[in-house]
């Protein structure tokens, strides 16, 4: 994504705050791109390997979020995250624990697809609420 010049209007016109913010966001997104990556498949970012790939501008994007599991008291469970926008192939995904209702726990990625992320969590004591954040980076 290239730099987007701020919106312009004819002399005497005022630019709206929304238009100005849109230009700022576009320029921030242009600087948040992946330029290089390592793996075992040119398009499937979830395949392990030692090959280095150049990532062409505008061919990757980053999505983040937070999710909470609630249910009957348990010590293990899974939850599926549906990405706000599907990737064109499998992205790289990371999860991080946020909160639990008592005890300690850990979580990890069980499965990743172009449109979903499945997270498994394990707690040392039965719990009814688990929260975590996620990050996915992959091909547009």
Query: What pLDDT sits at residue 127?
Result: 87
How far does the chain reach from its first CA to its final CA, in angstroms?
A: 12
Sorted by where each begins, the domain ranges of the chain are 58-139
- pTM of the predicted structure, to 2 decimals: 0.71
Question: Residue 75, Cα to own-chain centre: how many angstroms?
Answer: 26
In words, the CATH class of domain 58-139 is mainly beta
Q: Tell me: the pLDDT tens digits for 38-60?
A: 988 888 888 889 999 888 766 88
Two tokens at 37?
A: 């990556």
For 131, counting Cβ atoms within 10 Å of its Cβ (0-12 exposed, 13-18 middle, 19+ buried), the class is middle
Query: What pLDDT sits at residue 1?
Result: 44
> Which residues in the chain show pLDDT less than 70?
1-32, 57-58, 101-102
């Amino acid at each position: 994504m290239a730099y987007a010049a701020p919106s312009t209007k004819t002399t005497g016109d005022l630019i709206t705050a929304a238009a100005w913010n849109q230009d700022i966001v576009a320029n921030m997104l242009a600087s948040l791109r992946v330029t290089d990556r390592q793996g075992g498949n040119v398009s499937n970012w979830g395949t392990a390997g030692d090959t280095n790939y150049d990532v062409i501008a505008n061919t990757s994007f980053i999505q983040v979020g937070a999710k909470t599991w609630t249910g009957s008291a348990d010590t293990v469970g899974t939850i599926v995250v549906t990405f706000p926008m599907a990737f064109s192939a499998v992205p790289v995904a990371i999860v991080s624990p946020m909160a639990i209702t008592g005890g300690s726990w850990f979580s990890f990625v069980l499965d990743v697809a172009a449109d979903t992320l499945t997270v498994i969590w394990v707690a040392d004591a039965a719990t009814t609420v688990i929260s975590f954040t996620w990050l996915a980076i992959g091909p547009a």
